[in-house]
Amino acid sequence: MFTAQEIADITGGELHCSPEVVVSGAVTIDSRAAGEGSLFAAVIGENNDGHDYAAAAIAAGAALVLAQQPLSDVPYVLVVDTQKALGDLAREHLKRLRAARPVKVIGITGSAGKTTTKDLIGQILSMYGSTVVPAGSFNNELGLPLTVLSATSQTEYLVAEMGASAPQDLTYLTDIAPLDVAVVLIVGRAHLGGFGSVEAVAQAKGELVEGLVPGGIAVLNADDHRVIDMRHRTQGRVMTFGAVRDTDIQAVDTATDVLGRPSFAVVTPEGRRAQVTLTLVGEHHVTNALAALSAVTAVGIDLEEAAQHLSNATVLSPHRMDVVDRADGITVIDDSYNANPDSMRAALRALAMVAGRSRRTVAVLGEMRELGPESRQHHDEIGRLVVRLNVSLLVVVGAGAQGIADGAMQEGSWGDEVAEVATIDDARVYLQNALIPGDVVLVKASHGSGLWRLADELTGKASRS
Protein backbone atom coordinates (compact mmCIF):
# COMPACT_ATOMS: atom_id res chain seq x y z
CA MET A 1 0.00 0.00 0.00
CA PHE A 2 1.33 3.42 -0.99
CA THR A 3 -0.06 6.92 -0.71
CA ALA A 4 0.24 9.27 -3.66
CA GLN A 5 2.76 11.29 -1.67
CA GLU A 6 4.90 8.20 -1.03
CA ILE A 7 4.78 7.28 -4.72
CA ALA A 8 5.91 10.78 -5.66
CA ASP A 9 8.73 10.65 -3.10
CA ILE A 10 9.93 7.19 -4.19
CA THR A 11 9.86 7.95 -7.92
CA GLY A 12 10.89 11.60 -7.81
CA GLY A 13 7.52 12.41 -9.35
CA GLU A 14 5.24 15.41 -9.25
CA LEU A 15 1.85 15.18 -7.55
CA HIS A 16 -1.28 16.05 -9.52
CA CYS A 17 -3.78 14.90 -6.92
CA SER A 18 -4.32 14.87 -3.19
CA PRO A 19 -1.23 13.49 -1.39
CA GLU A 20 -3.56 11.32 0.71
CA VAL A 21 -4.85 9.25 -2.22
CA VAL A 22 -4.19 5.63 -1.28
CA VAL A 23 -3.25 2.82 -3.65
CA SER A 24 -4.60 -0.31 -1.97
CA GLY A 25 -5.03 -2.59 -4.97
CA ALA A 26 -2.93 -4.14 -7.70
CA VAL A 27 -0.45 -2.38 -9.96
CA THR A 28 -1.19 -2.85 -13.64
CA ILE A 29 -0.22 -1.58 -17.09
CA ASP A 30 -3.47 -2.87 -18.62
CA SER A 31 -6.46 -0.60 -18.07
CA ARG A 32 -8.76 -3.60 -18.51
CA ALA A 33 -7.22 -5.12 -15.36
CA ALA A 34 -7.70 -1.97 -13.29
CA GLY A 35 -9.86 -2.42 -10.22
CA GLU A 36 -10.76 -0.83 -6.93
CA GLY A 37 -7.80 1.05 -5.45
CA SER A 38 -5.33 -0.02 -8.14
CA LEU A 39 -2.42 1.91 -9.62
CA PHE A 40 -2.46 2.20 -13.41
CA ALA A 41 0.97 2.76 -14.93
CA ALA A 42 0.69 4.43 -18.32
CA VAL A 43 3.40 2.81 -20.42
CA ILE A 44 4.15 3.76 -24.01
CA GLY A 45 4.49 0.58 -26.06
CA GLU A 46 5.10 -0.28 -29.69
CA ASN A 47 1.42 -0.30 -30.57
CA ASN A 48 -0.37 1.47 -27.71
CA ASP A 49 0.12 4.47 -25.48
CA GLY A 50 -1.13 3.80 -21.97
CA HIS A 51 -1.87 7.47 -21.44
CA ASP A 52 -4.80 7.08 -23.84
CA TYR A 53 -6.41 4.65 -21.38
CA ALA A 54 -5.85 6.54 -18.13
CA ALA A 55 -9.44 7.77 -17.87
CA ALA A 56 -10.76 4.27 -18.52
CA ALA A 57 -8.57 2.89 -15.74
CA ILE A 58 -9.85 5.48 -13.26
CA ALA A 59 -13.44 4.78 -14.33
CA ALA A 60 -12.79 1.09 -13.60
CA GLY A 61 -11.79 1.92 -10.04
CA ALA A 62 -8.10 2.75 -10.17
CA ALA A 63 -7.07 5.19 -7.45
CA LEU A 64 -4.14 6.75 -9.27
CA VAL A 65 -2.25 6.90 -12.56
CA LEU A 66 1.52 6.87 -12.92
CA ALA A 67 2.30 8.87 -16.06
CA GLN A 68 5.16 10.42 -17.96
CA GLN A 69 2.95 12.88 -19.86
CA PRO A 70 0.51 15.48 -18.46
CA LEU A 71 -3.07 14.24 -18.13
CA SER A 72 -6.43 15.90 -17.61
CA ASP A 73 -9.26 15.07 -15.22
CA VAL A 74 -7.55 12.11 -13.50
CA PRO A 75 -5.43 11.90 -10.32
CA TYR A 76 -1.85 11.15 -11.31
CA VAL A 77 1.83 11.34 -10.45
CA LEU A 78 4.00 12.70 -13.24
CA VAL A 79 7.40 11.00 -13.62
CA VAL A 80 10.20 11.20 -16.16
CA ASP A 81 9.95 7.52 -17.15
CA THR A 82 7.04 5.29 -16.15
CA GLN A 83 9.01 2.08 -16.60
CA LYS A 84 11.84 3.25 -14.36
CA ALA A 85 9.31 4.53 -11.81
CA LEU A 86 7.76 1.07 -11.64
CA GLY A 87 11.20 -0.33 -10.89
CA ASP A 88 11.68 2.23 -8.11
CA LEU A 89 8.34 1.32 -6.58
CA ALA A 90 9.07 -2.40 -6.79
CA ARG A 91 12.46 -1.96 -5.11
CA GLU A 92 10.88 -0.07 -2.20
CA HIS A 93 7.97 -2.52 -1.95
CA LEU A 94 10.29 -5.53 -1.63
CA LYS A 95 12.46 -3.67 0.87
CA ARG A 96 9.40 -3.05 3.06
CA LEU A 97 8.24 -6.66 2.78
CA ARG A 98 11.65 -7.98 3.78
CA ALA A 99 11.78 -5.61 6.74
CA ALA A 100 8.53 -7.14 8.04
CA ARG A 101 9.24 -10.84 7.44
CA PRO A 102 11.63 -13.15 5.57
CA VAL A 103 10.85 -13.29 1.84
CA LYS A 104 13.01 -15.63 -0.21
CA VAL A 105 13.57 -14.35 -3.75
CA ILE A 106 14.70 -16.82 -6.41
CA GLY A 107 15.81 -15.54 -9.82
CA ILE A 108 16.32 -17.67 -12.93
CA THR A 109 18.14 -16.82 -16.14
CA GLY A 110 19.52 -18.74 -19.11
CA SER A 111 19.30 -18.88 -22.88
CA ALA A 112 16.58 -21.52 -22.70
CA GLY A 113 14.38 -23.12 -20.07
CA LYS A 114 13.77 -20.07 -17.84
CA THR A 115 10.00 -20.17 -17.93
CA THR A 116 9.71 -23.92 -17.45
CA THR A 117 12.16 -23.86 -14.55
CA LYS A 118 10.32 -20.91 -13.01
CA ASP A 119 7.05 -22.84 -13.25
CA LEU A 120 8.59 -25.97 -11.69
CA ILE A 121 10.07 -24.03 -8.79
CA GLY A 122 6.79 -22.22 -8.24
CA GLN A 123 4.79 -25.44 -8.15
CA ILE A 124 7.11 -27.00 -5.57
CA LEU A 125 7.37 -23.95 -3.31
CA SER A 126 3.61 -23.37 -3.37
CA MET A 127 3.31 -26.60 -1.37
CA TYR A 128 5.23 -24.96 1.47
CA GLY A 129 4.08 -21.36 1.63
CA SER A 130 2.52 -18.39 -0.13
CA THR A 131 4.37 -18.12 -3.43
CA VAL A 132 4.39 -15.42 -6.10
CA VAL A 133 5.28 -16.79 -9.52
CA PRO A 134 4.32 -14.89 -12.68
CA ALA A 135 2.38 -16.50 -15.48
CA GLY A 136 4.13 -16.82 -18.82
CA SER A 137 7.42 -15.10 -19.53
CA PHE A 138 7.18 -11.92 -17.44
CA ASN A 139 10.92 -11.38 -17.29
CA ASN A 140 11.92 -7.89 -18.44
CA GLU A 141 12.14 -4.32 -17.13
CA LEU A 142 8.34 -4.18 -16.94
CA GLY A 143 7.49 -7.77 -16.04
CA LEU A 144 9.90 -8.08 -13.12
CA PRO A 145 8.70 -4.94 -11.27
CA LEU A 146 5.06 -5.96 -11.77
CA THR A 147 5.88 -9.41 -10.37
CA VAL A 148 7.52 -7.88 -7.30
CA LEU A 149 4.65 -5.45 -6.79
CA SER A 150 2.18 -8.36 -6.77
CA ALA A 151 3.78 -9.76 -3.60
CA THR A 152 1.87 -9.19 -0.35
CA SER A 153 2.58 -9.27 3.36
CA GLN A 154 1.77 -13.00 3.22
CA THR A 155 4.34 -13.82 0.54
CA GLU A 156 7.08 -16.24 1.62
CA TYR A 157 8.62 -17.06 -1.77
CA LEU A 158 8.95 -14.87 -4.85
CA VAL A 159 10.09 -16.63 -8.03
CA ALA A 160 11.33 -14.29 -10.74
CA GLU A 161 12.29 -15.12 -14.30
CA MET A 162 14.96 -12.68 -15.46
CA GLY A 163 15.80 -12.20 -19.14
CA ALA A 164 18.58 -10.22 -20.76
CA SER A 165 18.81 -8.84 -24.28
CA ALA A 166 21.70 -6.46 -23.56
CA PRO A 167 24.53 -6.00 -21.03
CA GLN A 168 23.45 -4.62 -17.64
CA ASP A 169 19.86 -5.84 -18.02
CA LEU A 170 20.27 -8.37 -15.21
CA THR A 171 22.19 -5.90 -13.08
CA TYR A 172 19.18 -3.59 -13.32
CA LEU A 173 16.70 -6.36 -12.47
CA THR A 174 18.67 -7.70 -9.49
CA ASP A 175 19.05 -4.16 -8.18
CA ILE A 176 15.25 -4.04 -8.01
CA ALA A 177 15.00 -7.54 -6.53
CA PRO A 178 18.26 -8.69 -4.88
CA LEU A 179 18.30 -12.48 -4.87
CA ASP A 180 18.54 -15.09 -2.15
CA VAL A 181 19.04 -17.73 -4.86
CA ALA A 182 20.38 -17.07 -8.38
CA VAL A 183 19.85 -19.91 -10.88
CA VAL A 184 21.73 -19.96 -14.20
CA LEU A 185 20.65 -22.66 -16.66
CA ILE A 186 22.61 -22.53 -19.91
CA VAL A 187 24.47 -20.04 -22.05
CA GLY A 188 23.39 -20.39 -25.65
CA ARG A 189 22.95 -18.43 -28.81
CA ALA A 190 19.84 -16.43 -27.99
CA HIS A 191 19.93 -12.67 -28.70
CA LEU A 192 23.24 -12.88 -30.55
CA GLY A 193 22.15 -9.88 -32.55
CA GLY A 194 22.26 -7.82 -29.38
CA PHE A 195 25.31 -9.40 -27.75
CA GLY A 196 27.49 -10.28 -30.73
CA SER A 197 28.99 -13.49 -29.33
CA VAL A 198 28.27 -16.38 -26.99
CA GLU A 199 31.03 -15.08 -24.72
CA ALA A 200 29.18 -11.77 -24.40
CA VAL A 201 25.98 -13.68 -23.58
CA ALA A 202 27.86 -15.48 -20.80
CA GLN A 203 29.19 -12.20 -19.46
CA ALA A 204 25.67 -10.78 -19.31
CA LYS A 205 24.06 -13.89 -17.78
CA GLY A 206 26.72 -13.89 -15.07
CA GLU A 207 25.39 -10.58 -13.80
CA LEU A 208 22.70 -12.63 -12.06
CA VAL A 209 25.08 -14.21 -9.55
CA GLU A 210 26.51 -10.78 -8.79
CA GLY A 211 23.03 -9.73 -7.64
CA LEU A 212 22.83 -11.95 -4.56
CA VAL A 213 22.08 -10.67 -1.08
CA PRO A 214 24.78 -11.37 1.55
CA GLY A 215 24.62 -15.08 2.30
CA GLY A 216 22.86 -15.83 -0.99
CA ILE A 217 23.37 -18.96 -3.07
CA ALA A 218 24.34 -19.24 -6.75
CA VAL A 219 22.87 -22.37 -8.36
CA LEU A 220 24.94 -23.21 -11.44
CA ASN A 221 24.70 -25.80 -14.23
CA ALA A 222 27.96 -27.76 -14.09
CA ASP A 223 27.25 -29.30 -17.52
CA ASP A 224 27.82 -25.89 -19.15
CA HIS A 225 31.41 -24.69 -18.76
CA ARG A 226 30.42 -21.07 -19.33
CA VAL A 227 27.89 -21.29 -16.50
CA ILE A 228 30.14 -23.06 -14.01
CA ASP A 229 32.82 -20.44 -14.63
CA MET A 230 30.44 -17.91 -13.07
CA ARG A 231 31.34 -19.29 -9.65
CA HIS A 232 34.26 -16.86 -9.71
CA ARG A 233 31.88 -13.89 -10.05
CA THR A 234 29.93 -14.25 -6.82
CA GLN A 235 30.59 -13.77 -3.12
CA GLY A 236 27.77 -16.19 -2.35
CA ARG A 237 27.87 -19.92 -1.77
CA VAL A 238 27.89 -21.96 -4.98
CA MET A 239 25.63 -24.97 -5.49
CA THR A 240 26.06 -27.07 -8.63
CA PHE A 241 23.82 -29.43 -10.58
CA GLY A 242 24.23 -31.54 -13.69
CA ALA A 243 24.93 -34.95 -15.16
CA VAL A 244 28.68 -34.64 -14.58
CA ARG A 245 30.32 -35.96 -11.45
CA ASP A 246 31.21 -33.93 -8.36
CA THR A 247 28.05 -31.83 -8.39
CA ASP A 248 25.84 -31.08 -5.40
CA ILE A 249 22.83 -32.57 -7.20
CA GLN A 250 23.65 -35.04 -9.96
CA ALA A 251 21.31 -36.79 -12.40
CA VAL A 252 22.02 -40.48 -12.96
CA ASP A 253 20.22 -43.33 -14.73
CA THR A 254 18.38 -40.98 -17.08
CA ALA A 255 15.83 -42.66 -19.34
CA THR A 256 12.94 -41.59 -21.56
CA ASP A 257 9.64 -43.40 -22.02
CA VAL A 258 7.83 -43.92 -25.33
CA LEU A 259 6.02 -40.58 -24.93
CA GLY A 260 9.29 -38.68 -24.56
CA ARG A 261 8.99 -38.10 -20.79
CA PRO A 262 12.30 -38.32 -18.94
CA SER A 263 12.98 -40.02 -15.62
CA PHE A 264 16.16 -40.00 -13.58
CA ALA A 265 17.56 -40.38 -10.11
CA VAL A 266 19.32 -37.57 -8.26
CA VAL A 267 22.19 -38.24 -5.92
CA THR A 268 24.16 -35.99 -3.57
CA PRO A 269 27.71 -36.20 -2.24
CA GLU A 270 26.22 -37.11 1.16
CA GLY A 271 24.68 -40.24 -0.37
CA ARG A 272 21.07 -39.05 -0.54
CA ARG A 273 19.04 -40.31 -3.48
CA ALA A 274 15.63 -39.47 -4.91
CA GLN A 275 13.72 -40.56 -8.00
CA VAL A 276 12.05 -38.17 -10.47
CA THR A 277 9.64 -39.04 -13.29
CA LEU A 278 8.59 -35.95 -15.21
CA THR A 279 5.28 -35.31 -16.94
CA LEU A 280 7.12 -32.91 -19.28
CA VAL A 281 8.20 -34.04 -22.75
CA GLY A 282 11.83 -33.81 -23.84
CA GLU A 283 15.11 -34.95 -22.33
CA HIS A 284 16.30 -31.33 -22.17
CA HIS A 285 13.88 -30.83 -19.26
CA VAL A 286 16.24 -32.84 -17.06
CA THR A 287 18.40 -29.71 -16.81
CA ASN A 288 15.38 -27.59 -15.86
CA ALA A 289 14.26 -30.15 -13.29
CA LEU A 290 17.71 -30.36 -11.70
CA ALA A 291 17.84 -26.58 -11.48
CA ALA A 292 14.43 -26.52 -9.80
CA LEU A 293 15.43 -29.18 -7.27
CA SER A 294 18.64 -27.31 -6.49
CA ALA A 295 16.82 -24.00 -6.03
CA VAL A 296 14.18 -25.31 -3.66
CA THR A 297 16.65 -27.29 -1.57
CA ALA A 298 18.76 -24.13 -1.38
CA VAL A 299 15.87 -22.49 0.52
CA GLY A 300 15.49 -25.46 2.83
CA ILE A 301 13.03 -27.84 1.15
CA ASP A 302 13.70 -31.56 1.70
CA LEU A 303 15.19 -33.24 -1.40
CA GLU A 304 12.97 -36.33 -1.39
CA GLU A 305 9.81 -34.30 -0.87
CA ALA A 306 10.83 -31.86 -3.58
CA ALA A 307 11.48 -34.72 -6.00
CA GLN A 308 7.99 -36.07 -5.37
CA HIS A 309 6.38 -32.68 -5.99
CA LEU A 310 8.54 -32.26 -9.10
CA SER A 311 7.24 -35.54 -10.48
CA ASN A 312 3.71 -34.18 -10.19
CA ALA A 313 4.49 -30.80 -11.79
CA THR A 314 3.00 -29.94 -15.16
CA VAL A 315 3.47 -27.45 -17.98
CA LEU A 316 1.84 -24.19 -16.89
CA SER A 317 2.90 -21.55 -19.42
CA PRO A 318 1.50 -21.83 -22.95
CA HIS A 319 3.40 -22.81 -26.10
CA ARG A 320 6.21 -24.64 -24.30
CA MET A 321 6.46 -28.32 -25.22
CA ASP A 322 2.71 -28.64 -24.87
CA VAL A 323 1.78 -32.03 -26.32
CA VAL A 324 -1.81 -32.37 -27.57
CA ASP A 325 -3.27 -35.61 -28.93
CA ARG A 326 -6.06 -34.70 -31.32
CA ALA A 327 -9.17 -36.78 -31.92
CA ASP A 328 -8.07 -37.40 -35.53
CA GLY A 329 -4.93 -39.24 -34.39
CA ILE A 330 -2.52 -36.34 -34.99
CA THR A 331 -0.23 -35.30 -32.13
CA VAL A 332 0.85 -31.65 -31.97
CA ILE A 333 3.91 -30.52 -30.02
CA ASP A 334 3.44 -26.81 -29.46
CA ASP A 335 6.80 -25.27 -28.58
CA SER A 336 6.09 -22.07 -30.44
CA TYR A 337 6.61 -19.46 -27.74
CA ASN A 338 10.19 -18.73 -28.76
CA ALA A 339 13.22 -20.22 -30.45
CA ASN A 340 16.99 -20.06 -30.66
CA PRO A 341 19.42 -22.61 -32.11
CA ASP A 342 19.77 -24.49 -28.82
CA SER A 343 16.07 -24.75 -28.02
CA MET A 344 15.29 -25.60 -31.65
CA ARG A 345 17.69 -28.56 -31.50
CA ALA A 346 16.14 -29.77 -28.24
CA ALA A 347 12.62 -29.54 -29.67
CA LEU A 348 13.54 -31.45 -32.83
CA ARG A 349 15.08 -34.25 -30.78
CA ALA A 350 11.92 -34.36 -28.68
CA LEU A 351 9.87 -34.65 -31.89
CA ALA A 352 11.91 -37.64 -32.98
CA MET A 353 11.60 -39.23 -29.55
CA VAL A 354 7.82 -38.80 -29.27
CA ALA A 355 7.24 -40.20 -32.76
CA GLY A 356 9.56 -43.16 -32.33
CA ARG A 357 10.08 -45.37 -35.37
CA SER A 358 6.45 -45.92 -36.27
CA ARG A 359 4.98 -42.44 -36.77
CA ARG A 360 5.58 -39.80 -39.40
CA THR A 361 7.28 -36.61 -38.16
CA VAL A 362 6.40 -33.10 -39.37
CA ALA A 363 8.43 -30.03 -38.36
CA VAL A 364 6.73 -26.66 -38.94
CA LEU A 365 9.49 -24.16 -38.34
CA GLY A 366 9.71 -20.39 -38.54
CA GLU A 367 12.40 -17.79 -38.12
CA MET A 368 14.76 -17.68 -35.14
CA ARG A 369 15.16 -13.95 -34.59
CA GLU A 370 17.86 -11.76 -33.07
CA LEU A 371 20.75 -13.97 -34.20
CA GLY A 372 22.80 -11.22 -35.82
CA PRO A 373 24.99 -11.57 -38.93
CA GLU A 374 25.33 -15.35 -38.55
CA SER A 375 21.57 -15.88 -38.63
CA ARG A 376 21.65 -17.57 -42.03
CA GLN A 377 24.26 -20.07 -40.87
CA HIS A 378 22.29 -20.94 -37.73
CA HIS A 379 19.13 -21.55 -39.76
CA ASP A 380 21.12 -23.66 -42.22
CA GLU A 381 22.42 -25.83 -39.37
CA ILE A 382 18.89 -26.46 -38.13
CA GLY A 383 17.84 -27.59 -41.60
CA ARG A 384 20.70 -30.06 -41.71
CA LEU A 385 19.73 -31.42 -38.28
CA VAL A 386 16.18 -31.95 -39.52
CA VAL A 387 17.55 -34.31 -42.16
CA ARG A 388 19.91 -36.10 -39.75
CA LEU A 389 16.99 -36.76 -37.42
CA ASN A 390 15.08 -38.23 -40.38
CA VAL A 391 12.14 -35.86 -40.04
CA SER A 392 9.58 -36.92 -42.64
CA LEU A 393 8.30 -33.48 -43.67
CA LEU A 394 9.76 -30.03 -43.11
CA VAL A 395 7.48 -27.00 -43.53
CA VAL A 396 9.40 -23.72 -43.46
CA VAL A 397 7.28 -20.63 -42.82
CA GLY A 398 8.40 -17.14 -43.87
CA ALA A 399 11.33 -15.63 -45.74
CA GLY A 400 13.38 -15.21 -42.55
CA ALA A 401 13.48 -18.97 -42.06
CA GLN A 402 14.38 -20.00 -45.61
CA GLY A 403 17.90 -20.87 -44.48
CA ILE A 404 16.36 -23.91 -42.76
CA ALA A 405 15.05 -25.14 -46.10
CA ASP A 406 18.40 -24.45 -47.76
CA GLY A 407 20.25 -26.44 -45.11
CA ALA A 408 17.86 -29.37 -45.39
CA MET A 409 18.18 -29.49 -49.16
CA GLN A 410 21.96 -29.21 -49.01
CA GLU A 411 21.96 -32.12 -46.57
CA GLY A 412 20.02 -34.24 -49.04
CA SER A 413 16.30 -33.59 -48.51
CA TRP A 414 14.55 -33.20 -51.85
CA GLY A 415 11.17 -33.12 -53.52
CA ASP A 416 8.15 -33.29 -51.26
CA GLU A 417 10.20 -33.69 -48.08
CA VAL A 418 10.61 -29.88 -47.82
CA ALA A 419 7.90 -27.29 -48.31
CA GLU A 420 8.38 -23.53 -48.16
CA VAL A 421 5.41 -21.25 -47.56
CA ALA A 422 5.39 -17.47 -47.32
CA THR A 423 2.82 -16.85 -44.62
CA ILE A 424 1.03 -18.47 -41.70
CA ASP A 425 -2.16 -18.58 -43.78
CA ASP A 426 -0.25 -20.48 -46.48
CA ALA A 427 1.07 -22.88 -43.85
CA ARG A 428 -2.45 -23.49 -42.55
CA VAL A 429 -3.73 -24.37 -46.03
CA TYR A 430 -0.73 -26.58 -46.76
CA LEU A 431 -1.07 -28.54 -43.51
CA GLN A 432 -4.79 -29.08 -44.01
CA ASN A 433 -3.91 -31.09 -47.10
CA ALA A 434 -0.64 -32.63 -45.92
CA LEU A 435 -1.32 -33.95 -42.42
CA ILE A 436 -2.58 -37.50 -41.97
CA PRO A 437 -3.68 -39.49 -38.92
CA GLY A 438 -0.70 -40.68 -36.89
CA ASP A 439 1.51 -37.67 -37.67
CA VAL A 440 3.50 -36.01 -34.90
CA VAL A 441 3.78 -32.28 -35.64
CA LEU A 442 6.23 -29.85 -34.03
CA VAL A 443 5.54 -26.10 -34.29
CA LYS A 444 8.43 -23.83 -33.30
CA ALA A 445 9.73 -20.32 -34.07
CA SER A 446 10.58 -17.07 -32.35
CA HIS A 447 7.56 -15.42 -30.76
CA GLY A 448 7.68 -12.43 -33.11
CA SER A 449 7.07 -14.67 -36.10
CA GLY A 450 3.51 -15.25 -34.91
CA LEU A 451 3.66 -18.99 -35.55
CA TRP A 452 2.10 -19.57 -32.12
CA ARG A 453 -1.22 -18.55 -33.67
CA LEU A 454 -0.99 -21.51 -36.02
CA ALA A 455 -0.09 -23.74 -33.07
CA ASP A 456 -3.25 -22.58 -31.28
CA GLU A 457 -5.29 -23.55 -34.31
CA LEU A 458 -3.61 -26.95 -34.66
CA THR A 459 -4.17 -27.78 -30.99
CA GLY A 460 -7.72 -26.43 -30.98
CA LYS A 461 -6.90 -23.84 -28.33
CA ALA A 462 -7.62 -20.85 -30.56
CA SER A 463 -11.33 -21.65 -30.53
CA ARG A 464 -11.31 -21.95 -26.72
CA SER A 465 -9.41 -18.75 -25.96
451-460 pLDDT tens trace: 999 999 999 9
Smallest CA-to-CA distance from 17 within 84, 72, 89, 55 is with: 72
pLDDT (0 to 100) of residue 165? 82
280-338 tens-digit pLDDT: 988 889 999 999 999 999 999 999 999 999 999 988 888 888 999 999 999 999 999 88
pLDDT (0 to 100) of residue 317? 81
Do 85-312 and 322-459 agree at the fold level? no
Banded pLDDT at 464 (limits 50, 70, 90)? very low
Output the CA angle 290-369-50, nearest 5 degrees.
95
pLDDT (0 to 100) of residue 169? 93
Straight-line distance from the first to the last Cα atom of the chain, in angstroms, rounded to the nearest whole number: 33
Fold of 2-80: 3.40.1390
Which residues are 160's β-sheet partners? 107
- What value does the mean pLDDT take over residues 75-83? 97
d(CA 229, CA 408): 35
Q: Which amino acid is at 247?
A: T
d(CA 449, CA 397): 9
pLDDT above 90 for 190 = no
DSSP secondary structure of 209-270: GGGEEEEEEEEEETTSHHHHGGGGG-SSEEEEEESSSS-SEEEEEEEE-TTS-EEEEEE-TT
221 touches 185 (CB < 8 A): yes
- What value does the mean pLDDT take over residues 84-94? 97
Helix (H) or strand (E) holding 354: helix 341-355
pLDDT (0 to 100) of residue 194? 62
Longest dimension (CA), the chain: 72
Cβ neighbors of 346 (< 8 A, separation 6 or more) are 112, 282, 283, 284
pLDDT above 90 for 398 = yes
Reported residue count of the chain is 465
260 touches 92 (CB < 8 A): no
Smallest CA-to-CA distance from 365 within 414, 345, 355, 353 is with: 345
d(CA 221, CA 240): 6
Banded pLDDT at 56 (limits 50, 70, 90)? very high
355-388 tens-digit pLDDT: 988 999 999 999 999 888 889 999 999 999 999 9
Smallest CA-to-CA distance from 240 within 290, 310, 165 is with: 290
Smallest CA-to-CA distance from 348 within 284, 403, 425, 253 is with: 284
pLDDT (0 to 100) of residue 265? 97
Q: At what angle do helices 114-125 and 303-312 cross, to 10 degrees?
A: 120
pLDDT above 70 for 193 = no
d(CA 315, CA 134): 14
Task: Give the residue extent of every domain in the chain.
Answer: 2-80, 85-312, 322-459
- pLDDT, averaged across the chain: 93
User: What does the DSSP 8-state code read for residue 128?
Assistant: T
pLDDT (0 to 100) of residue 465? 39
12-24 tens-digit pLDDT: 999 999 999 999 9
Banded pLDDT at 137 (limits 50, 70, 90)? low
Count the alpha carbons within 13 Å of 128 in the hemisphere toward its beta carbon: 19
- What value does the mean pLDDT take over residues 403-430? 92
Banded pLDDT at 197 (limits 50, 70, 90)? confident
Smallest CA-to-CA distance from 219 within 249, 198, 245 is with: 249
Q: Judge: domain 85-312, CATH 3.40.50.720.
A: no
pLDDT (0 to 100) of residue 1? 82
439-455 tens-digit pLDDT: 999 999 999 999 999 99
Q: Judge: domain 322-459, CATH 3.90.190.20.
A: yes
- What value does the mean pLDDT take over residues 78-91? 97
Higher pLDDT residue, 242 or 198? 242
419-433 tens-digit pLDDT: 999 999 999 999 999
Output the CA angle 360-365-366, nearest 5 degrees.
165
Higher pLDDT residue, 148 or 357? 148
d(CA 421, CA 257): 34
Say what percent of the chain tops pLDDT 70: 97
- What value does the mean pLDDT take over residues 249-270? 94
pLDDT (0 to 100) of residue 47? 86
270-281 tens-digit pLDDT: 999 999 999 998
